A and B are shown apart, each in its own frame.
Chain A
Amino acid sequence: MPASRPRAPARAPAKTRPARGRAARPAPSTVVDPIEAEVMARHLLATSEEMAATLMRTAFSPNIKERGDCSTAIFDRHGEITALAHRIPMHLGSMVGAVAEILQRHRLEDIRPGDMFMANDPYNGGGTHLPDINVVAPVFVEDRVVAFVANIAHHADVGGMVPGSEAAVCNSIYQEGVRIPPVRIMTAGRLNRDLLDMVLLNSRTPDERVGDLQAQFAANVVGTRGVEMLFSRYGVERTERTIASYMDFTERRFAAAIRKLPRGRFVAEDSIDGDREGELARIRLRLEVGDGTLDFDFSGTDRQIRSSRNIPARAVLATIYTVAQSLLDPGIPANAGFYRTIRFRAPEGTVVNPVAPAAIGCRSVSCAVLGDVVAAALTQALPDKALAGSGPHHLFIFSGTDPRTGAYFVDYETLAGGMGARARRDGMDAVRVHASGASNLPIEALEHVYPLRVERYALRNGSAGAGRYRGGMGVVRDYRILADDIVVSLSSERQHVAARGLEGGGEGARGLFVYNPGQPDERQLPSAAADVPLPRGSVLRICTPGGAGYGPAAERDPAALALDRREARLDAD
């Protein structure tokens, strides 16, 4: 992975030959019609949404179908993203460069209609951690590739040393599951059964994997159809030219938003947890606001660590894009044009640009801290939109045998924390923050499929950082264990370093994992652990961190404070 964003290849200048398939228009034939550009962009976005709907409707694992842990995108033939359905912003990182990596390994002329490529290795054109498997298909019109469609789904288990293939305790990517470079899973429309069998053998839950992959193939078929329709309607050349201009429009729009910021350098830093309990790894950022560009320089960040909290470069990009978009121009179309305004530099071998075989499974929790660093830097340039530190979700994976069915299960879940306060409003309670975004699993669905009973699922009182505007509240959940051989893997951030307030606002509460709360054998569990045994009848409590506050608590609106008190939100939990 290069340390800077790959630039798109230069394109031939646009020509003005009218395309076929549409009667001549009365309007003057300019180079590119901005109106037609908008029409095409909407068509592509609708197609990517259609793909996402298909994927979620037909997927098998609760993680995809209930929690929506999947994304879809459309690329131009050079591999630049032209449309992206908004599901999980983090997945953007898996999309950036995915096609380029395929084209590096496979000659374009060898790619046939009906081919589909599958990959998951972050160091080789896959996602940003191994459970995210992407499936990419070329779209052909008039016997040549005009675009690619892709989707990415978080599979609940792809092998490795821990169930769920994702735990902060992994020390190498080889412990995190099966690594797949971009390879053909479909050849000219035929499933490559041998390859599929090999992947399935590596998963603890192969049946789910088949169902989920089928859903991914189906989504690409739907996407291919939609893209073909657009190109045949307007003609290949005209469509390509127009889409390229649309990305230029998008770039200009975001550059215009950046130009409203004062130029200058803004520095921020924060820490993720290190290899052992209590150790920290520092993320340091120097942001330079230029003339319509943002330059993110992570020089000075700590070296990569053994634990899987390292953040692959593309996950860093996804986080930067997400936070920058949120604070500068939330409505910007999601395509590569916007990404061109952003530059990223990180020395190789650091926690924000690790090299193989660094473990990276838990990058989504670390990315929440990274998101706070990015927000802290941008906030200095954009005080009106300030965003205080947030409480990231906690990740836990139960596995064992369900006594009701005798079947082995892996339950991958995340529990949201609270968002940081803003310059003019409270942080949101109980939401996924920055680039993360998967839903929760309904308790009634969970109890049907796993031998667990949730006895409490609530906003965590007293977890919000105080301030003129308070942070968002974290969450507390108690699981009662209803089987004999259940183990859990735990991963988290902000159990040691609290979310920081702004302008005098208070810190958010730190998270914690507690075994058998209120019992004589109550004990706090580590912030990261693998295969913790949970005997039948025991309880695991998860308390997620709260968001930090903005401004001095003494300046809080008395009515808002009284309401929080009445509603017991400030009580000790």
Chain B
Amino acid sequence: MDTLLIGIDTGGTFTDLVLCDTASGRYTYHKLPTSTGEPARAVLDGIAEILQLAGLPPSRVGFLVLGTTLGTNAVLEGKCARTGMITTRGFGDVLELARQRRPHTFNLDIAKPAPPASRERRIEVGGRIAHDGSEVEPLDEAQVRAAVKSLREQGAEAIAICMMHSYANPAHERRAAEIARAAWRGAYLCASSDVLPEFREFERFATTAINASLMPVMDRYLETFERGVSDQGIPVPPRVMQSNGGAVTPLAVRRVPVNTFFSGPAGGVVGCTGLGNEIGVRNQITFDMGGTSTDVCLIRDGQPAKKDQREMAGYPVRTRTIDLHTIGAGGGSIAWVDGGGLLKVGPMSAGAYPGPAAYGRGGTLPTVTDANVLLGRLSPRSLLGGRMAMHPDLARAAIDTALVPRLGVDTVRAAAGILEIINVNMMGAVRVISIEQGVDARDFTLVAFGGAGPLHAADVALDMGITRVLVPPRPGLLSALGLLHADVRGDFSQTCLIAATAGSLQTANAALGQLRARGDAWLAGEAHARARAERTWAADLRYVGQNSELSLPLPSGRVSRPGLRALVEAFHARHREFYGYDMPGQTVELVNLRLTVSVNRKAPPAERRRFGRGSVRDAIVERRAVWFPDTGYVDTPVMARDRLPRDARFSGPAIIEQMDTTTVVPPGTRVHNDRLGYLHLALPRGRGSSGG
């Protein structure tokens, strides 16, 4: 299959593109500023440019996948469509009542978030379904018609239909949607039972309202994008990365745009999964550290961890996402001293402008980057392959002014302190996705990427007792590369809330049948992918009376009596494993059934890397004093990554520089530059005792 694959990662500042020619195994890379005015335009320009750079015709493109932060940004910047809601009488305020907690326990200056549909655009209609799906009161269709008319007159651009217990019986929501479509042709609307047929009204309503508010925005964007792709002569429909790590057609995204949150960082995780398969590292902790934020994710046996609820702009969004834990700390995080004389780092960031003091663009506050420059870890001369000059004197001045007098320590100690604290923050993030999930981080390989990941990975690993760090060949472009590894994937769920006993088999199998039908309908929309689809089934169980569920695999889309018994047994065992006890006498409840439909694609060929022809010594470009926590300053060789020979082995201390990042190798660490150009760091069983 000699086609071209294109991955496009649109970040907040830059759009990265990668093109792989599967015939020659040649890769082409391109980077351009993300245009906020007309976002689809920049992407289309980028596609045309990268094809031109590679000198290849658009007609050969066989797979094109886009990672986009459009949905996320629209929500964060409040640029969503004006949205109306039609809901059950008595429940118009669910979005504002939320969970009746203050946004912050102590900081009363943090206001409640603005609801995705304002109060005057939330209209109640008669009709009620009970918890068991039975109808208490029929739907008042005339009120639905009046509500649609009123919302249209108020200038609503999208409608969310959210009714009580619709996960148990969607009849009222479906009928209301029919009426709305008939009354308003071409309306953007969605019903909560289609977006998220799960119980808990606030979470379901919020997810549905946010979804509706994104529909017009995403539709306009995809319209331009699809047309542009086709106008360039690309013969295949483009695909869009979802938060679950699978790529789908624009049609699927138009229906549930809320599924594209975290589409961008998901690319990095999928990239890690792909590279893990390539080199046989199937247990990873991904560590993507950028300028303002850091994303970490656990990959266990080649599968990234998944999560079903995230928060967006103060509202819960329940949708299957890769379980990325994000913290607002990165290379640009600012260090400061609090009223009690303690050193703090972040959450404020210097951003790209003015940026760290060392960039010489007018920033005067000390950042993590400044500490790295002062301690010799980052080049005191330039970054980005010489494109950006560094100013170590300004970094020192920033630390000397803002920190040294108030901490009463010297400059080096203050700088070292910044690193220690940012690393403990990073460690906290890694703990959340490992130890807090009952997983011992020490059994995993830390995969470092993003601009700052390789700079901090070894220290974070040492602190946690992790002994293996992996740095891929192009850490700065891993997210774009990851998109080339995307499979086609859809996740579906259905709440049941029944006892996991033989008497419930019929209900359970009926629900599984509905799930299969939804999956099939979705798959039909994903066109030619149909034949090789793989279905994975799962069930969320808990003890009757508990609140959170454990998800267990189901062997197929039908449950038999012995199958159910085995499932319940497996649940007891998993509960023991997770929480240290089980309750064999307690009834087990089947809460949700889940289906994942995926169509796997062939992995793209490995890139042929450049290696140095000489010895490791020939890769050394200079020596400088570099500070390490356990030794202080040590005279350290600085190497150019693309001059390292294939299959080379050496020991730290070392600094390895390349265009898109810098890797820090502490003393006593063994390094292997493997045949594919991956750096494997083997750390001593260091300071960390961790695991927990």
Q: Identify the A interface with B (CB < 8 A).
A: 21-23, 25-28, 30, 34-39, 42-43, 46, 50, 53-54, 56-62, 65-66, 86, 89, 207-208, 211, 214-215, 218, 221, 225-226, 229, 232-233, 246, 249-254, 256-257, 322, 325-327, 329-331, 387, 393, 415-416, 419, 422, 425, 428-432, 437-440, 442-445, 447-448, 453-459, 475, 478, 566-569
Contacts and interface: CB of A to CB of B under 8 A. Distances in A.
Contact of B119 (A253, A330, A416, A568): A568
Contacts of A54: 579
A498 to B, nearest CB: 21
Interface in B81-130: 89-94, 96-102, 104-109, 111-112, 118-120, 128, 130
A442 B202 CA distance: 7
A432 B112 CA distance: 13
Contacts of A331: 106-107, 338
A322 B165 CA distance: 38
Nearest to A544: B100
Contact of B340 (A86, A214, A252, A453): A252
Contacts of B630: 23, 25
Contacts of A327: 108
Given A35-B420, A432-B101, A60 B633 contact: no
A66 B202 CA distance: 13
A43 B581 contact: no
28 contacts: A22-B687, A26-B412, A27-B412, A28-B409, A30-B409, A34-B407, A35-B417, A38-B344, A54-B579, A60-B546, A86-B105, A211-B546, A211-B583, A211-B586, A218-B580, A249-B341, A250-B340, A256-B339, A325-B106, A429-B112, A432-B102, A437-B101, A442-B200, A442-B202, A444-B200, A444-B201, A456-B89, A568-B120
B125 to A, nearest CB: 14
A65 B687 CA distance: 37
A66 B89 CA distance: 24
A419 B98 CA distance: 15
Contacts of A39: 420-421, 424
Interface string B339-361: 11111100000000000000000
Given A65-B547, A249-B341, A444-B165, A387 B92 contact: no
Nearest to A46: B428
B435 interface: yes
Contacts of A454: 90
A492 to B, nearest CB: 16
List 5 A-B pairs, minimum CB-CB distance, nearest first.
A253-B340, A26-B632, A65-B547, A456-B90, A35-B417
B280 interface: no
B545 A566 contact: no
B543 interface: yes
B343 A34 contact: yes
B545 A453 contact: no
Contacts of A207: 545
B341 A444 contact: no
B199 interface: yes
Contacts of A442: 199-203
Given A39-B421, A215-B579, A430-B98, 10 more contacts: A25-B629, A30-B409, A57-B579, A211-B546, A249-B342, A439-B101, A442-B202, A444-B199, A444-B201, A458-B93
B692 A226 contact: yes
A59 B105 contact: no
A221 B105 contact: no
A567 B136 CA distance: 29
B338 A253 contact: yes
Interface string B159-171: 0000011010000
Contacts, number: 228
Contacts of A249: 340-342
A58 B545 CA distance: 10
A252 B337 CA distance: 13
Given A57-B548, A448-B497, A431 B199 contact: no
A27 B411 CA distance: 10
Interface string B124-166: 0000101100001000000000000000000000000000110
A394 to B, nearest CB: 12
A313 B193 CA distance: 49
A330 B106 contact: yes
B131 A444 contact: yes
Given A233-B689, A249-B340, A444 B164 contact: yes
Nearest to B544: A60
B413 interface: yes
Contacts of B108: 326-327, 330, 387, 419, 422, 428
B247 to A, nearest CB: 32
Contacts of B96: 429-430, 459
Nearest to B97: A430
Nearest to B91: A457
Given A42-B428, A448-B497, A431 B100 contact: yes
B425 interface: yes
B165 A425 contact: no
B687 to A, nearest CB: 6
B169 to A, nearest CB: 12
Nearest to A475: B97
Contacts of B436: 50, 53
Contact of A425 (B90, B111, B203): B111
A155 to B, nearest CB: 13
Contacts of B97: 430, 440, 457-459, 475
A256 B342 CA distance: 13
Nearest to A41: B342
B547 A457 contact: no
A50 B579 CA distance: 12
B643 interface: no
Nearest to B423: A39
Contact of B339 (A35, A36, A257, A416): A257
Contacts of A35: 343, 413, 416-417, 420-421
A462 to B, nearest CB: 14
Contacts of A226: 692
A455 B109 CA distance: 33
Given A39-B420, A253-B339, A453 B136 contact: yes
A26 B631 contact: yes
Given A65-B548, A330-B106, A440-B97, A458 B90 contact: yes
Contacts of A89: 105-106
